[in-house]
Chain A
């Protein structure tokens, strides 16, 4: 089972590559009532303690496969299900320090059955949570 908020606490950690900390990760769940194809998603923005990350600073990992936000726009046959958390990996040299961090995640998605003027209106806006890095 997932935690109720969009931003999950399980999975929040720094990411190490070749002995160097290159960023951090957190999991999110979709608050929409149905899964979406990756091309329906619009790029996410992550803000940590006031510092904002966008575009190619963020990758999404869904079902073990990692995607850049650019390539997601053309992936109309890869599905992000409701029960699957997505891992957002954020590039930040040195990662985050031990302790509390105020996290904000926002992204939106297209719903073709809504009027075009309300295309991304069902998105959940800015999701906020304080997470603890150990």
Chain B
């Protein structure tokens, strides 16, 4: 089974179930989301372990059987497993490397059982620039042999306000080059390429609005592509003529095509009205119309 980074073919389409977080458990269940993915021909799946696995971190046998059934029935590829190393798990101190390692391995095993080969590993941060915890190298290094054993690639998500040309990303790349590992890489969230913010008037009173920050030019992704196992196709608003209003999608996807990057772009809707029944579904469909057109599918 390929783990989605190669030099032949084009980017592939998928969905992060995070998109449906305003409806999950209220108006939609896991199977409903799979039905929508099948409708859109979006085969690649991202789940959030702590959200979409009932009984996490110990799902029942019945739940696991149903999982296997749903993947088969809707022809879904488990791509990325979102999980967290909650460094501030206990108030007043940070997790030790040993505790962080144990948290990682618990998720490696579950991700492997569910068929995932890439992990979106959210690390704890220590400042406003999202610098990861100081001991990340230590516990990631400890975990690499287990990542290999369970065939999963640990990928921190590079998310605004982090820039692609930044100390954080340089440190990750240096770690990959020094260790020579194939089991640690990057997930790039397309929000890093935002060219204009969504007008404040579009947001609801309870929405979290990203503070203003600097963004990266699209070409900054090119030198990183060998390490990028997966992307979050972040979007905030699709117009009725199938354009995304804040992120330069055409340029991003064409850059990926030109460099033969063939991983999954997982749609991640993070705009307003997520809790309005059917709104996210419509936004996702428009997003996939746009991506299909740019991909020439």
Q: Which residues of A line the B interface, CB within 8 A?
A: 1-4, 29, 33-37, 39-40, 42, 73-74, 76, 79, 81-83, 110, 112-117, 119, 121-122, 124
Contact between B91 and A110, CB atoms less than 8 A apart: yes
Contact between A112 and B50, CB atoms less than 8 A apart: no
Residues 128-155 of B, flagged 1 when their CB comes within 8 A of A and 0 if not, give 1010000000000000000000000000
Contact between B18 and A112, CB atoms less than 8 A apart: no
9 contacts between A and B (CB under 8 A): A1-B27, A4-B26, A79-B50, A110-B86, A112-B87, A112-B88, A113-B84, A113-B130, A116-B88
Taking A33-B48, A34-B50, A81-B55 as contacts, is the C-beta distance between A115 and B25 under 8 angstroms? no
Contact between B90 and A113, CB atoms less than 8 A apart: no
Contact between A112 and B89, CB atoms less than 8 A apart: yes
Contact between A35 and B56, CB atoms less than 8 A apart: yes
Query: Which 3 A-B residue pairings sit nearest by Cβ, starting from the closest?
Result: A112-B124, A33-B21, A35-B50
Most buried by A among B18, B48, B50: B50
User: Which of B29, B51, B130 is A35 in contact with, Cβ under 8 Å?
Assistant: B51
Per the CB 8 Å criterion, the residue count for chain B at the interface is 33
Q: Is the interface of B mostly helix, strand, loop or mixed?
A: loop
Q: Which residues of B line the A interface, CB within 8 A?
A: 18, 21, 24-27, 29, 48, 50-51, 54-57, 84-91, 122-128, 130, 206, 208, 275
**A39 contacts across to B, CB distance below 8 A:** 89-91
A119 to B275, alpha carbons, bound, how many Å? Answer: 24
Known: A1-B27, A34-B50, A34-B84. 13 other contacts (CB 8 A): A4-B26, A35-B56, A73-B90, A81-B56, A82-B25, A110-B91, A112-B124, A113-B122, A113-B123, A115-B130, A116-B125, A119-B88, A121-B208
Taking A81-B54, A82-B24 as contacts, is the C-beta distance between A76 and B122 under 8 angstroms? no
A122 to B46, alpha carbons, bound, how many Å? Answer: 22
Contact between B25 and A116, CB atoms less than 8 A apart: no
**B56 contacts across to A, CB distance below 8 A:** 35, 79, 81
User: Which of A4, A29, A82, A114 is B125 in contact with, Cβ under 8 Å?
Assistant: A114
Contact between A40 and B89, CB atoms less than 8 A apart: yes
Contact between B89 and A37, CB atoms less than 8 A apart: yes
Contact between B91 and A73, CB atoms less than 8 A apart: yes
Taking A73-B90, A110-B88, A112-B87 as contacts, is the C-beta distance between A29 and B128 under 8 angstroms? no
**A73 contacts across to B, CB distance below 8 A:** 90-91
Taking A29-B25, A73-B91, A110-B91 as contacts, is the C-beta distance between A37 and B127 under 8 angstroms? no
Contact between B27 and A116, CB atoms less than 8 A apart: no
Contact between B125 and A115, CB atoms less than 8 A apart: yes
A95 to B231, alpha carbons, bound, how many Å? Answer: 52
